[in-house]
Structure formats: structure tokens, C-alpha cells
Amino acid sequence: MSPIKPSHSNDAQPQQPQRRQLLAAAATLGVAPWLLSACASAATSPAVAPKAAGMRRKIGPFEVFPVGLGCQWRPGAAPGVIVDSYSSSFDRAAAIRLIRQAVDQGVTFIDTAEAYGPFLSEDIVGEALQGIRNKVVLETKFGFDIDQVTGQRLPGGRNSRPEHIRRVVDAQLKRLRTDHIDVLLQHRVDPNVPIEDVAGTIKDLVRAGKVRHYGLSEPGLQTVRRAHAEHPMAVIQNEYSMLWRGPESGVLPLCEELGIGFVCWSPLGMGFLAGGVNAASRFVAPDFRAISPRFAPDVLPANMALADLVRTWAQRKNATPAQLSLAWLLAQKPWILPIPGTTNAAHMTENLGAASISFTADELRQLNAAVAAIRIQGDRLPPAVAVMSGAEAPPKR
């Protein structure tokens, strides 16, 4: 099986917040596609990445390194500049170096999407993986109504019509410079297309050799069952971290029941869990946190109790806050994979160190109880974006 790759990690002290890669800054429903990727973060002094040999976990049909890499970027305001959803920036050459360095250090799972850019992130990933494509599990996504020639977002919002999926996949294969996609995800459930039609189309793409496996992102539970019955799913990708534990109530038990792997986007809580936010932090668009209710000035001071807890436990485990947060995710289930993103190679290396951190049964009980005792204030997403999570596909007529 292909192995997985690492991702980005921590940042500076709370008084020196470092912007991290993650969800795209989108204030409107039309920009929502940028939401679906892995989180960026901040930390203290970077730790040394572990040796990847022998460090694997089974995610669906894949055996991968325990930390993946999320690649979610878009063009900046200036020519040649590439930015993430937290205003961090670099250029194309640096992005390619970061991906190749991640693979060199053992990362074997890379996530991206047509909506990230649109198209830009897939194009960068495709270039970076030339010559090393067979070393990674490559995951990308479809599901928004994007013109495949111009990249323009069309009024339809979501689009998972079978003919559109086929056009998207052909375009993705060209951008990614590969003959197959290891995991193809529906970015968000389409309220107008039965999931049986979506899964059936992907089944055809699997037969054609263009796609190996598939999954859903932020789906409704019944949609998961229906899709899995049509064609077995490999993974579900949802937001999950100590800052947002929603999947524990329904999605994770369902994954365990059906044998589906779970990929976590925003595993560092948009930098919050990595030490990149403090009570006085204020965010301005296009930073996505400017429209995220849990980062609002009136609730942020109360929510810092969780950041304080993470920092305390990180010191106890001789780790950085980002590493501690990722290790907590890895400890919840053996089939969970976090995919943090970053524009900083040192953060990426630091994140990989989470794979070397373990908890005793008593430590994990203590930490879980302490996290559960903190009530996070503010919704995780603005209403226009939240409405797309947990959606159920229409019935098959």
C-alpha cells in the first residue's frame, strides 16, 4: 500500500501568532469550497521529525504514515504569491519544495481539491509529485459547480451530476499529472443528486482505472450508509480536533461499524491548538477566522481555557502544542488520520513528531476528561457554510 505524508505543524508563541494553512477564507457560500481541507497551526520550538520507517496505520485500504499533508492554497493579491486561509504566503517554488520535503521525510498521504485555487493546489501538487507519485496516496475532491476551463464558480453552488463528475476527474488527472486518483472525495453532498448516482459514477471511474477508491466529506449519516451500499467507501473526511469533537457522536461510530477510515481536516483548530491564537487575537478578512463564531472577540477569552490545557499537557509530554494536539487525535482511534497544512517547512517537520508521542491509558483518560470539561463557545462555522455539513442526499427515484 502507498504510505502517507506528513503535514504542517505548530507556530510561534501566542503573542507572536503565525498564520497557518487550512480552510480558505470565504465569507460567502460561493467561497465555501475552500473550507474543506486540513488545518494549519502554530507552535513553539519545532521538534525533530521521527523516522517514518515502520510507523504506519491503516486508513481504509491504505497503510500510511500517521500524519498527512493538506495542500489548500489560492493565488495571492500580488503576481506569483500563493496564500492560505490565514494570510500566510509563499511562492510556487517553495510550495513544491515543501511537498517534496514532506515526502522525503516519510509523508505518504496528500490531500487537495479542485476548489482550492480553484485548480491551483492540484496543479502544484501534480508538479511536485513528478517522479515520486508512487510514494504517496493522493486524495482530491470534486463537488462544486466550477467551470472546468475558466475556474469560474458558477451559480449552481454544488454540482455532483454524473456528467460533471466525469469532466472534473478528467481535468484533475491532467492537473495532477497522473493516470489515477487514489481517493476521490465528494467535497460536499449535493442536495439535488441522489448519492446512489454519485457512487455509481465513481464505480464506473474505478472500473475505468481513473479512480482507486472514494469517500465523502462532511456527509449525513444516512447518505454514508446509502453510498457504502452502492459501492464500498474508503474514507470520510470531516473536521475533528480537541476544538471540535462533533464526529464523536455519530460519524466515528459509523466509520467503525462499516470499516471506513477517517481523515481529519483542521486537526489543529485553525492554529488555535498550536499556540497561534491568544485572547486578544483579532482577525480580518480574508482570514477565515474573521467569520468563524468561535474566534469572535466576545468568546475567544473563554475558549482559551482549551489552549491553556493543551499547552500544559504539551509540557508534560515534552512536545509542542501542535504535536500534542495531533497525537491526541491519533490516540482516539487507530484508523484516524490528521492532515494539517502549512506554508512553513519547519512546521511541517514539527507536525510529523506527533507520530512518536503516545499516552498511557490513564493519561488518555485524564486528558479526554479535561478536554470534555471545557465548553467551547461559538459555532464552528458561519451559517452559510455550516448548512452544507451533515447534509443528506435526496432519495433515488
Residues assigned a catalytic role:
116
- Among 361, 341, 313, 388, which Cα is nearest to 99's? 341
- Sign of the C-alpha dihedral, residues 11, 17, 18, 20? positive
Which three three-digit cell numbers place residue 50?
521521527
For residue 110, give the 3-state DSSP assignment. strand
| In contact, 303 and 328? CB cutoff 8 Å | no
Q: How far apart are CA 397 and CA 394, in angstroms?
A: 9
DSSP state of 395: P
Q: How far apart are CA 159 and CA 261, in angstroms?
A: 25
- Among 300, 251, 266, 254, which Cα is nearest to 280's? 300
Distance separating the N- and C-terminal Cα atoms of the chain: 38
Q: How far is CA 29 from CA 156, 228, 285, 308, 395, in A?
A: 11, 28, 15, 33, 24
| In contact, 351 and 322? CB cutoff 8 Å | yes
Q: Where are the beta strands (DSSP E) in the chain?
A: 57-59, 62-64, 69-70, 74-75, 81-83, 89-91, 109-111, 137-142, 144-146, 153-158, 181-186, 211-217, 235-239, 261-265, 336-338
State the DSSP string of 331-348.
Answer: HH-TTEEE--B-S-HHHH
Residue 226: in which H helix or E strand, if any? helix 221-230
Q: List, in sequence order, every residue forming a beta bridge with 1; answer none if it has no partner.
A: none
Q: List, in sequence order, every residue forming a beta bridge with 235; answer none if it has no partner.
A: 215, 261
